[in-house]
């Protein structure tokens, strides 16, 4: 007859192979042991099996760990009878979910998984794809990851990337934004528990960009836009209360490419923290560019396009702009 204590122990045996006293009597609990070396230049992982019990054959493979570990091709058998218990597996990308799985060639063998690149999170943000036909920017995780994605505006002054409103997506799957401006300062921000990464897919100048500039004469500020593609713009006068936020003062205009808009400024506005903000309205996601520190032309004429070297007048003062 079986007493209560034995029953309890038996259940325990099968539930927990990690208990070494228990595990060594149950073949399926013997996972063997392996270690590995990575040759990043040759993209090869060498696996060395150190302890495969009773000369059993040992299997190793590479897999991508999602819900289960999905096969990625490389697979090898290490013969238990051979003294040299080592094998090389080739990988293509050092993804954080790329794991080495090893198990003894017996039914229901326990499998060990080691993931050599588990901390290489930043490779996940590399595969951003832009499709010009739909103006869509998309990112798809190559590994399961808990991430918040935002579009953001990269600030020139401090390399901070300020979130574009209503662009936050919390998704373990594909993230897509349609009708996106291809401005070099429009970036994608990925935030995980480990930190934040910013990727700027249009930063290298191969996509059409637009520019905003202002010219001041007396109490009027003229705002112009140039663009390599057809575009519509909005202009807003705002009061910069903090570095990251600029509150509308209620002056707002729409501008077509090639036109300009003229804004009447009071002397008080010229000398305060007032900025001119402009963005594209023919897309759903655009970076607002900002020209601040506006010196109106009360003492002559000044122009600013954020680049004093190209300014057209002798009265240019220091210009701080974010485009
Ligand atoms: C990943 O980082 C953790 C914490 O720093 C560390 O314990 C672990 O060994 C690292 N993994 C690899 C494969 O380097
Ligand atoms: C801008 O904001 C500051 C601080 O809130 C305020 O003192 C100032 O009057 C504002 N300027 C304008 C022109 O609204």
Please list the alpha-helical segments (H only) found in 196-313.
Answer: 267-270
Q: Residue 249 C-alpha to ligand 2 middle, in angstroms?
A: 9
Nearest Cα residue to atom 5 of ligand 2 = 241
Nearest Cα residue to atom 8 of ligand 1 = 119
Closest to 233 in 3D by CA, of 214, 249, 217? 214
Segment 206-212 shows an average pLDDT of 88
Tell whether ligand 2 has an atom less than 6 A from the beta carbon of residue 159: no
Radius of gyration of the chain (CA): 30
Query: Rounded distance, CA 142 to CA 190, Å?
Result: 14
The pLDDT tens digits of the residues spanning 239-258 come to 887 766 788 888 889 998 88
Tell whether ligand 2 has an atom less than 6 A from the beta carbon of residue 273: yes
- What is the average pLDDT score of the chain? 80
Closest to 145 in 3D by CA, of 181, 168, 120? 120
Cβ pair 101, 112 in contact under 8 A: yes
| The pLDDT of residue 303 is above 60 | no
Q: List CB contacts of 14: < 8 A, sequence separation 6 or more.
A: 26
Q: By three-state DSSP, how is residue 234 classified?
A: strand
The pLDDT tens digits of the residues spanning 125-173 come to 998 999 988 999 999 999 999 999 999 999 877 778 999 989 999 877 8
pLDDT band at residue 323, thresholds of 50, 70 and 90? very low
Q: Residue 68 C-alpha to ligand 1 middle, in angstroms?
A: 21
Q: Residue 114 C-alpha to ligand 1 middle, in angstroms?
A: 11
| The pLDDT of residue 7 is above 60 | no
Question: Could you give the domains of the chain?
Answer: 20-114 (2.60.40.2150), 128-205+312-318 (2.60.40), 210-305 (2.60.40)
pLDDT band at residue 28, thresholds of 50, 70 and 90? low
Which of 239, 242, 294 maximizes ligand 2 atoms within 8 Å of its Cβ, making it the mutation to test the pocket?
A: 239
Query: Rounded distance, CA 83 to CA 257, Å?
Result: 75
Query: Rounded distance, CA 316 to CA 303, Å?
Result: 7
For 22, the enclosing helix (H) or strand (E) is helix 20-23
Q: Which residues line ligand 1 (CB under 6 A)?
A: 116, 118-119
Q: In the numeric block, which tokens belong to residue 201? A: 């897919």
Cβ pair 82, 57 in contact under 8 A: no
Cα–chain-centroid distance for residue 63?
23
């Amino acid at each position: 007859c079986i007493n209560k204590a034995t029953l309890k122990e038996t259940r325990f045996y099968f539930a927990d192979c990690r208990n070494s006293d228990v595990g060594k009597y149950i073949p399926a609990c013997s996972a063997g042991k392996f270690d590995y070396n990575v040759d990043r230049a040759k993209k090869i992982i060498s696996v060395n099996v150190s302890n495969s019990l009773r000369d059993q054959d040992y299997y190793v493979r590479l897999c991508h760990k999602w819900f289960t570990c999905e096969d990625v091709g490389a697979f090898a058998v290490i013969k238990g009878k051979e003294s040299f218990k080592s094998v090389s597996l080739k990988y293509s990308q050092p993804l954080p979910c790329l794991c080495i799985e090893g198990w003894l060639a017996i039914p229901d063998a326990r499998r060990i998984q080691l993931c050599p690149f588990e901390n290489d999170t930043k490779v996940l943000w590399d595969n951003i794809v832009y499709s010009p036909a739909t103006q869509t920017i998309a990112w798809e995780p190559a590994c399961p990851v808990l991430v918040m994605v935002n579009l953001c505006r990269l600030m020139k002054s401090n390399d901070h990337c300020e979130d574009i409103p209503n662009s936050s997506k919390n998704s373990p799957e594909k993230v897509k934004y349609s009708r996106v401006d291809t401005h070099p300062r429009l970036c994608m921000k990925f935030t995980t528990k480990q930190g934040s990464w910013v990727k700027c897919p249009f930063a290298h100048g191969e996509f059409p960009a637009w520019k905003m500039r202002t010219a001041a004469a007396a109490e009027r500020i003229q705002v112009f836009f140039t663009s390599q593609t057809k575009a519509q713009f909005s202009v807003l006068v705002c009061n910069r209360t903090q570095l990251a936020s600029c509150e509308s003062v209620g002056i707002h205009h729409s501008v077509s490419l090639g036109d300009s808009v003229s804004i009447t400024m009071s002397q008080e506005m010229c000398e305060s923290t007032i900025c001119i903000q402009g963005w594209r309205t023919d897309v759903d996601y655009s970076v607002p560019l900002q020209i601040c520190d506006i010196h109106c032309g009360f003492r002559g004429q000044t122009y600013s396009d954020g680049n004093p070297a190209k300014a057209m007048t002798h009265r240019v003062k220091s210009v701080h702009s974010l485009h």
